[in-house]
């Protein structure tokens, strides 16, 4: 059963996949298949806020996705895959919070391991993004996670602690409001992303418990208890139930399995089963 203070969030990260035409087809199938695919009680779980769904398409598909999401029989948040910390300026290739807000986008992903590994994102730039976006009113899905080498050399907790403290504003800088639902932490072990190697439920729970302990140490038990922690890394309809059964796993951030309407619906259905 989902923790009643936190509920369940299922977020699909499309990365650099799906053209506008493919986006249209995805949403049209999602709409047609949802009534059969989602179990009874899903509408109530969405209505009460215990279940939330989110899709993170490429920037060019944000506006279209937002429009198509409004036609679905269930609520679906649309999030940006990234955003700059400055509101405007000479930052070729970036988009800003006000640009996204003008479209109606209120959620953003920050610090994904592909940004860190392939595009030079550092703890410092991820921190600047999350702090600025939280201050601008966004919900931020902030990614943390260790590489295989870091896990094998026993550094997992140290890495998570370093990345997490980067994501968090200083105590007293309005952190309480961020930690009351607007900052979501996604634990994504780098070795599990796109590899088919999922962390075991025990590994996921152990890391999530450690992250919640770090939140508790820094901001106290109330903030720690309220913050949603998602697991990401080769989540699929076949393994999501055992991951969501972990007491500190409050949802999933999913790449590959969010690209097809059937599997995305199956993930949402798993979230709904956790929110009776
Ligand atoms: C991701 O993109 O955040 C991710 C976890 O990808 P995948 O589910 O494909 O491993």
Q: pLDDT tens-digit profile of 18-38?
A: 999 999 999 999 999 999 999
pLDDT value of position 218: 85
At residue 261, φ and ψ (nearest 5 deg) are: -55, -40
Residue 179 has pLDDT above 80, yes or no: no
At residue 144, φ and ψ (nearest 5 deg) are: -130, 160
Ligand 1 pocket at CB < 6 A: 13, 15, 188, 193-194, 232-235, 253-256
Residue 191's closest CA among 237, 240, 153?
153
Alpha helices in the chain (DSSP H): 20-37, 42-47, 62-69, 97-103, 113-118, 123-135, 148-152, 156-167, 175-177, 201-219, 221-226, 240-244, 261-273
User: Which atom, in ligand 1's list, is nearest to the CA of 258?
Assistant: 8
Q: How many CB atoms lie within 10 A of CB 79?
A: 25
Q: Residue 157 catalytic?
A: no
Residue 201 has pLDDT above 90, yes or no: yes
Determine the length of the chain.
276
61-74 pLDDT, tens digit each: 999 999 999 999 99
User: Which atom, in ligand 1's list, is nearest to the CA of 186?
Assistant: 3
Give the residue-averaged pLDDT of 46-74.
97
pTM metric for this prediction: 0.96
238-275 pLDDT, tens digit each: 999 999 999 999 999 999 999 999 999 999 999 999 98
pLDDT value of position 219: 84
Euclidean distance between CA atoms 146 and 160, whole angstroms = 7
Q: In the CATH hierarchy, which top-level class contains the domain 8-30+51-83+94-274?
A: alpha beta
pLDDT band, very low/low/confident/very high, at 174 (cuts 50, 70, 90):
low
């Amino acid at each position: 059963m989902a923790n009643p203070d936190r509920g369940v969030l299922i977020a699909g990260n499309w990365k650099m996949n799906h053209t506008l035409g493919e986006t249209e087809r995805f949403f049209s199938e999602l709409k047609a298949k949802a009534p059969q695919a989602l179990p009874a009680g899903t509408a109530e779980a969405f209505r009460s806020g215990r279940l939330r769904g989110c899709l993170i398409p490429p920037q060019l598909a944000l506006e279209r996705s937002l429009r198509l999401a409004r036609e679905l029989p269930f609520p679906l948040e649309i999030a940006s895959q990234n955003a700059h910390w400055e509101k405007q300026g000479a930052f070729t290739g970036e988009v800003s919070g006000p640009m996204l807000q003008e479209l109606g986008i209120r959620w953003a992903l920050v610090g994904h391991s592909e940004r860190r590994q392939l595009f030079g994102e550092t703890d410092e730039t991820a921190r600047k993004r999350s702090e600025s976006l939280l201050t601008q009113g966004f919900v931020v899905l902030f990614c943390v996670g260790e590489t295989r080498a870091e896990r094998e050399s026993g550094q997992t907790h140290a890495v998570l602690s370093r990345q997490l403290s980067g994501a968090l504003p200083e105590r007293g800088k309005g952190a309480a409001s961020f930690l009351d639902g607007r900052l979501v932490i996604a634990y994504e072990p780098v070795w599990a992303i796109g590899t088919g190697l999922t962390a075991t439920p025990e590994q996921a729970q152990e890391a999530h418990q450690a992250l919640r302990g770090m939140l508790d140490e820094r901001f106290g038990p109330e903030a720690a208890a309220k913050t949603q922690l998602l697991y990401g890394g080769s989540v699929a309809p076949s393994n999501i139930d055992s991951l969501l059964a972990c007491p500190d796993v409050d949802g999933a951030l999913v790449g590959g399995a969010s690209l097809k309407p059937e599997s995305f619906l199956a993930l949402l259905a798993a979230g709904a089963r956790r929110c009776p």
